[in-house]
A and B are shown apart, each in its own frame.
Chain A
């Protein structure tokens, strides 16, 4: 068995907005294993990024607050740590890559300086060693001529290069968990392929557990071992990548899969139609009573609308969890 490294249990994050209290992370539980990738998918506003920020404890009070749950990492509950103890873990044992590499890098410092800063913050090393390590890291992430690149500023690099710098920085302290929040969304497909390949290679080398947050089910199918689908702040389905793609249980997952245009359509052009999910993602302050997906679901029934409450995430078949009162059986989901 693979070694469990991070356990999130019943995590709830609450935001106090002008429109009222909302819970972008509502009772989320999952586990991350060494050398394995957990994918979190969902549309915008489903709470994927907030989950990542909550794990890193980057939710700023008083507007946002983690109000419940546990995050166990190395036998410690991250939510019980002091700010100082948390700083020793954040960016050190748990690394993070963000979506937009241009805004996450400081434009007025060279990339070499920024990586060195990350190194010296968590390790006691000399300036000279830090420089050598920086060059080593840039080599690791496949940047040509690293000796020259460390003297360059972020604007002198292309999008793919900047994302490599971000990865190098996140890996500087050899984290055991890497949280990647839409790491390739801003990149072209050919560059995305390079970055994904790099992440797989580094995962094997460093035996990291990765949490990959994305909206692209194609990326999930290629990268992840386990997948959690989020909707309205909750995980609505969780399964191994095989099970999720071959027999989705939640109507939302099935709808998501069906709405991707497939490259292999042989149909006459005039007959092509994509299956769609009607309506739009509801705002978090206007979630309906009962199942949050009820208004968009093609299989909605009377009990979804309230009296039974919100469906909880339950095991519907071994290792396959879904939060739905009327889950799809294997035949219907095909």
Chain B
């Protein structure tokens, strides 16, 4: 491995994003959606951080805030030693070359009127990454080669491809500018299982080949556990537990993590396990419950949970959670 094995590529400190809600005749802010609430984490070079949570927990907002596609309300995003929240638009553009995003829906994120050639050339043009036509074509072939698409694909339009192939085009487009860091926002969720497996393998191969760092956002814990080195579980704008991927699975501490894991249907009819069925839905992020946001659905909640949000408790350097009544043993 490289000498930079433990080097931190991205560090997020106390990041928050509030969306104001306006109302009344004067259209004044009357409240705020706490989409991302005081989140801190870091990702090492060449690693994958998986981010899981149910819909509406703020995982996509967090992903977009890292690229400043959504301006953060507070906090710092330190990428490769630079606090990118302080950069102006022009400086930001050069950083965007290093951070790319792959979206969920490959149908919606490719312009139907552009050929693959045009789609892949655009980022090269914007960042002035070639001087001659040969140079450009060489790069385009290289990109198609990375994502295992034939050369003929260049002259085709997105509608001529299947869902999996379109997602490959999106990946090639993200790779065009030689990024260091890619945010994958539900990038495999819309694909069929057999195609999903192909794309997951591709993402993992590319990571090793090009030394990429991923933030992998998904709601499917199986996929996240498989692809990630570290996993963070998010609930209503806050990270409630973070650990090495295997620890999350073997030794979940937060009751929410445990419930989430137990809710996954296992494709094995002989596998019978105690299922924890949570009551109710995720509460509204406009007025989250007091204290620990999870307490109305938690079977371990006590009086203290309703009052103060729990602090981070570290089990070891990699594994921490925010809960007053952690799971003691996974068979509990």
Contacts and interface: CB of A to CB of B under 8 A. Distances in A.
A274 B202 CA distance: 10
A61 to B, nearest CB: 28
Contacts of A274: 197, 200-201, 226
Nearest to A197: B277
A259 B265 contact: no
A189 B194 contact: no
Contacts of B275: 193, 197
Interface string B186-199: 00000011111110
B204 A190 contact: no
A256 B221 contact: no
Contacts of B227: 261
A245 B269 contact: yes
A221 B267 contact: yes
A218 B277 contact: no
Interface in A190-226: 190-194, 196-197, 215-222
B263 interface: yes
Interface in A236-276: 241-242, 245-246, 255-257, 259-266, 269-270, 272-276
A188 B275 CA distance: 15
A269 B267 contact: no
B278 A194 contact: yes
In this complex, the interface size class of chain B, counting residues with CB under 8 Å from chain A, is 35 or more
A194 B275 CA distance: 10
Nearest to B195: A280
Contact of B54 (A188, A215, A242, A278): A188
A215 B192 contact: yes
B109 to A, nearest CB: 18
Given A194-B278, A256-B193, A256-B194, A261 B225 contact: yes
B278 A221 contact: no
A161 interface: yes
B45 interface: no
A219 B267 CA distance: 7
Contacts of B192: 43-44, 215, 281
A161 B266 contact: no
Contact of B264 (A189, A246, A257, A269): A189
Contacts of A261: 197, 200, 222-223, 225-227
A255 to B, nearest CB: 6
Interface string B258-301: 01111111111111000101100110000000000000000000
A259 B196 contact: yes
A221 B265 contact: yes
A94 B305 CA distance: 46
A191 B263 CA distance: 9
A232 to B, nearest CB: 13
Contact of A160 (B162, B194, B281): B281
A277 interface: yes
Contacts of A265: 225-226
Contact of A190 (B163, B200, B201, B259): B259
Contact of A260 (B54, B222, B260, B262): B222
A158 B282 CA distance: 9
A59 to B, nearest CB: 24
B86 to A, nearest CB: 34
A97 to B, nearest CB: 17
A189 B54 contact: yes
Contacts of B246: 266
A70 B198 CA distance: 39
A242 B272 CA distance: 13
Contacts of B196: 259
A28 B24 CA distance: 59
Contact of A263 (B54, B249, B281): B249
A240 to B, nearest CB: 9
A196 to B, nearest CB: 8
A250 B266 CA distance: 21
A261 B194 CA distance: 11
Nearest to B196: A259
Nearest to B205: A273
Contacts of B201: 273-274, 276
B164 interface: yes
A277 B277 contact: no
Which 10 residue pairs of A and B lie closest in terms of their CB atoms, listed nearest first? A218-B265, A259-B197, A261-B226, A43-B192, A193-B263, A188-B54, A274-B197, A277-B194, A217-B267, A189-B263
5 contacts: A193-B278, A256-B194, A265-B225, A276-B197, A280-B162
Interface of B: 54-55, 162-165, 192-198, 200-201, 204, 208, 219, 221-223, 225-227, 229, 245-246, 249, 259-271, 275, 277-278, 281-282
Interface of A: 43-44, 158-161, 188-194, 196-197, 215-222, 241-242, 245-246, 255-257, 259-266, 269-270, 272-278, 280-281
Given A43-B193, A263-B249, A269-B229, 12 more contacts: A189-B221, A194-B277, A219-B265, A222-B269, A260-B193, A261-B226, A263-B264, A274-B201, A276-B197, A276-B201, A277-B197, A280-B165
